[in-house]
Amino acid sequence: MELWELFVLAVGLSMDAFAVSVCKGLSVGRVKPAHALTCGVWFGGFQGLMPLVGWLLGVQLQDLIVSVDHWIAFVLLSIIGANMIRESRQEGDEDMETSFSPKAMAPLAVATSIDALAVGVTFAFLRVNIVRAVVFIGVVTFLFSSTGVWAGSVLGEKSRSRAELAGGAILILMGVKILLEHLGVLG
């Protein structure tokens, strides 16, 4: 796999994490460097880890993973999105640190990296330097995710509850889109 192909693949894989990072930035009144770093590390780490896991699984589980990855992404994104919508309706200030806790970030990181797991399975069939691929994908996703938090903050600093509502709806729509694409409804 050529470097430019790996770059295009890394950018494509990082788009879900970027969108979720924008939503996280929208929900924060004032972004701190730790927020951007947290999203970058979680999303970049999982986007790099999942192709490695997929590569290790290889041929044996390809059919099983491909047949359920869209359902896993749909369910996780829908639950997380519904929770964000619920939180947007609650009165009072939310402790933003809990929004970036491992309990909050782990499901998001898993949900946005399911497709990377399937890509990793395909790496088992290609002549790919797996170390270079996972590091490259992880770094690109780290950069996109960190930038996404800052971009989201600029967009949503004045309307936090509406931003959480929009972010929740976006996550649910992303899950529905993934499901419909894999079911062949969207081309």
Q: What is the mean pLDDT of residues 141-149?
A: 94
Neighbours of 72 (CB within 10 A): 16
pLDDT tens readout for residues 82-107: 877 787 777 654 443 347 889 889 99
Query: Is the separation of the CB atoms in 130 and 29 below 8 Å?
Result: no
Q: What is the mean pLDDT of residues 126-150?
A: 93
- Least Cα distance to 28 among 149, 139, 128, 165 occurs for 149
Q: Half-sphere exposure (CA, 13 Å, Cβ side) for 166?
A: 15
- Least Cα distance to 22 among 103, 87, 112 occurs for 112
Q: What angle do CA 67, 70, 74 make, to 5 degrees?
A: 145
Identify the burial level of 125 via C-beta atoms within 10 angstroms of its C-beta, where 0-12 means exposed, 13-18 middle and 19 or more buried.
exposed
Fill in the DSSP letter of residue 141. Answer: H
Task: State the pLDDT confidence band at 160, using cuts at 50, 70 and 90.
Answer: low
pLDDT tens readout for residues 102-133: 988 999 999 888 888 878 877 877 778 999 99
| Lowest model confidence (mean pLDDT) among 39-43, 150-154, 157-161 | 157-161
Query: Is the separation of the CB atoms in 84 and 161 below 8 Å?
Result: no
Task: State the pLDDT confidence band at 13, using cuts at 50, 70 and 90.
Answer: confident
Q: What is the mean pLDDT of residues 1-15?
A: 84
**SS3 at position 2:** coil
**Residue 70: is its pLDDT beyond 80?**
no
Whole-number pLDDT of residue 38: 96
How many Å apart are CA 45 and CA 132, to the nearest integer? Answer: 14
Neighbours of 126 (CB within 10 A): 11
Query: Is the separation of the CB atoms in 53 and 133 below 8 Å?
Result: no
H/E element holding 108?
Answer: helix 102-123
Q: 56 or 121, which is more confident? A: 56
**Residue 166: is its pLDDT beyond 60?**
yes
- The DSSP secondary structure of 44-71, one letter per residue, reads HHHHHHHHHHHHHHGGGGHHHHHHHHHH
**Domain range list for the chain:** 3-74+93-159
Please give the mean pLDDT across all residues of the chain.
Answer: 80
